[in-house]
């Protein structure tokens, strides 16, 4: 199949993919885990730090996506920069955690939200139903996939804007958002670092378009632009949404709760309006799940092209859809829904994908030194400061995450290392 035939994704669709990857589970669920050790003002700073960190990672990925244009994301970058084994480990993480786990978390949140709207609806079957429907939609034609992603993301985005506009003028029943004594110290504390885990999970997806580079028109221009535009839009949305969540509902009601959007919506719109808000959030989660189900199998298929043991996963149908890779990701996500808890799955996935993202950003430095003459249509803005900020913030977060959640962190490390066994068994094919 020629490159022209598969390059059907516009800048708008690529940006929608980035936005839908980010605006999903995290922003509607994680605030409840941040209240307690942090003041409202520091929580807003936390979300700003997350946005800056995501943008710094995005400019690094943009340089690599333009210089090394091929679908696969971390798998492709690390294989090209370091060694096939390193790339394989990153791809292995994408298969087992990077996409399947967020799909599982999105489906679980979807079920929880609908259950809170109507307690007669069981959360777990709803999660499985969402996973099944989205999988079928992603296996359909390219036109249907693009239509679903554009419409679901746009509707979700418009619903968020309405929520923000009404919430801004609604009576305040929650916390004041002004700085308090000791806030500076709180920004460098352990609770800030561990809360950053939930924030960075919410921003995960800023690199989404690098996984489908082969499907994007004019990728050297549109892939970097989609990441930059998407990250800036989402950062503004996240700060505004959390400000309204904190302002609308008392902290005691939000603490420890997953469905913070529904709780805040009930205070703003009343009980009936809050239920409608819960339904809109659930619809937005479908867009998030769809974007992950679109991108993830492409990474798996790219790995199958290069590795003998995974070769069946590279099989695509007449429309270029990796069908076996899609089924594999769905099966892993279903297993996580059936066996995991929301918080443990989130910690596990964030530890593993942050390690891989950090390696890619390190690769920008390596490639600059080793191949200074490599054509770079896009260069990382603010280099070397922006990649350094990304690495410092994420390294600080990972250290405290390991100390706070050693079990989940070790499981994440074990998942990465188990990929080495599969790599050596798969005997990468020579080009």
C-alpha 261: how far from chain center: 18
- 196-217 pLDDT, tens digit per residue, is 888 888 888 788 777 777 778 8
Mean pLDDT over 298-320 rounds to 78
- 163-174 pLDDT, tens digit per residue, is 888 888 887 787
Contact between 408 and 71 (Cβ < 8 Å): no
- Tokens (6 digits) for 263: 């709780």
Write down the pLDDT at residue 387: 94
Please enumerate in sequence order all residues whose Cβ is within 8 A of that of 203, keeping only pairs 6 or more positions apart, or say none: 22, 26, 50, 51, 53, 54, 231, 234, 235, 238
Q: Which residues pair with 35 in a beta bridge?
A: 38
- 115-124 pLDDT, tens digit per residue, is 988 889 998 9
Largest CA distance in the chain: 65
Q: Which of 22-31, 188-197, 248-257 has the lowest mean pLDDT?
A: 22-31
- pLDDT over threshold 70, residue 427: no
Instruction: DSSP letter for 177, please.
Output: -
Instruction: DSSP letter for 172, please.
Output: P
Residue environment code for 130-144, b if the CB has 16+ CB neighbours within 10 A, otherwise e: bbeebbebbbeeeee
Write down the pLDDT at residue 18: 84
- 331-370 pLDDT, tens digit per residue, is 989 998 988 777 777 778 788 888 888 999 999 999 999 9
Cα–Cα distance measured from residue 42 to residue 173, given in angstroms and rounded to the nearest whole number: 19
Q: Which CATH number applies to 3-426?
A: 1.20.1740.10
- 284-293 pLDDT, tens digit per residue, is 788 778 878 8
Cα–Cα distance measured from residue 213 to residue 99, given in angstroms and rounded to the nearest whole number: 17
Mean pLDDT over 377-395 rounds to 91
When the pLDDT of each residue in the chain is averaged and rounded to a whole number, the result is 83
Is the bond leading into 339 cis (omega within 30 degrees of zero)?
no
Q: Tokens 């924030």: give the residue.
A: 199
Mean pLDDT over 375-398 rounds to 90
Cα–Cα distance measured from residue 358 to residue 137, given in angstroms and rounded to the nearest whole number: 33
Q: Beta-strand (E) ranges in 265-397?
A: none
Q: Where are the domains of the chain?
A: 3-426
In the chain, the percentage of residues whose pLDDT exceeds 70 is 96
DSSP string covering 63-117: HHHHHS--TTTHHHHHHHHT-HHHHHHHHHHIIIIITHHHHHHHHHHHHHHHHHH
In the chain, the percentage of residues whose pLDDT exceeds 90 is 17
From residue 196, alpha-carbon distances to 38, 159, 170, 203, 424 in Å are 11, 26, 28, 10, 35
Contact between 102 and 292 (Cβ < 8 Å): yes
Q: What is the 3-state secondary structure (H, E, C) of 31-58?
A: HHHHECCECHHHHHHHHHHHHHHHHHHH
- pLDDT over threshold 70, residue 13: yes
């Amino acid at each position: 199949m020629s490159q022209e035939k598969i390059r059907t994704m516009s800048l708008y669709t690529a940006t929608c993919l980035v936005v839908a990857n980010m605006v999903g589970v995290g922003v509607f669920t994680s605030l409840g885990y941040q209240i307690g050790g942090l003041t409202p003002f520091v929580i807003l700073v936390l979300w700003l730090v997350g946005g800056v960190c995501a943008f710094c990672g995005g400019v690094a990925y943009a340089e690599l996506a333009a210089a090394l244009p091929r679908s696969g994301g971390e798998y492709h970058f690390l294989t090209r920069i370091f060694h096939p084994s390193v790339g394989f480990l990153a791809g292995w993480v994408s298969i087992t955690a990077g996409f399947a786990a967020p799909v599982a978390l999105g489906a679980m949140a979807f079920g929880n939200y609908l259950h809170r709207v109507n307690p007669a609806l069981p959360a777990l079957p709803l999660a499985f139903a969402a996973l099944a429907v989205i999988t079928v939609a992603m296996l359909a034609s390219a036109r249907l996939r693009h239509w679903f992603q554009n419409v679901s993301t746009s509707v979700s985005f418009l619903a968020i804007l309405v929520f923000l506009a009404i919430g801004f003028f609604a009576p305040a029943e929650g916390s004041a958002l002004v700085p308090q004594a000791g806030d500076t110290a709180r920004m460098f504390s352990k609770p800030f670092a561990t809360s950053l885990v939930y924030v960075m999970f919410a921003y995960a997806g800023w690199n989404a378009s690098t996984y489908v580079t082969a499907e994007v028109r004019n990728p050297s221009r549109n892939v970097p632009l989609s990441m930059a535009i998407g990250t800036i839009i989402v950062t503004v949305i996240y700060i505004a949404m959390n400000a309204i969540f904190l302002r609308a509902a008392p902290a005691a009601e939000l603490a420890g709760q997953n469905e913070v959007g529904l709780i805040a919506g009930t205070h703003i719109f009343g009980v009936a309006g809050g239920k409608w808000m819960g339904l809109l959030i659930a619809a937005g989660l479908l867009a998030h799940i769809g974007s992950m189900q679109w991108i993830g199998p492409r990474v798996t298929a790219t790995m199958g092209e290069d590795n003998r043991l995974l070769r069946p996963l590279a099989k695509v149908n007449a429309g270029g859809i990796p069908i076996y890779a899609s089924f594999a990701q769905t099966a892993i996500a279903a297993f996580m829904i059936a066996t995991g808890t929301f918080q443990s799955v989130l910690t596990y996935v964030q530890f593993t994908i942050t390690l891989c993202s950090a390696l890619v950003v390190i690769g920008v430095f390596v490639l600059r030194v080793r191949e200074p003459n490599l054509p770079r249509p896009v260069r990382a803005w603010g280099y070397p400061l922006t990649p350094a900020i990304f690495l410092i913030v994420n390294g600080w977060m990972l250290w405290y995450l390991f100390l706070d959640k050693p079990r989940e962190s070790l499981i994440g490390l074990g998942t990465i290392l188990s990929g080495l066994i599969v790599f050596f068994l798969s005997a990468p094919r020579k080009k």
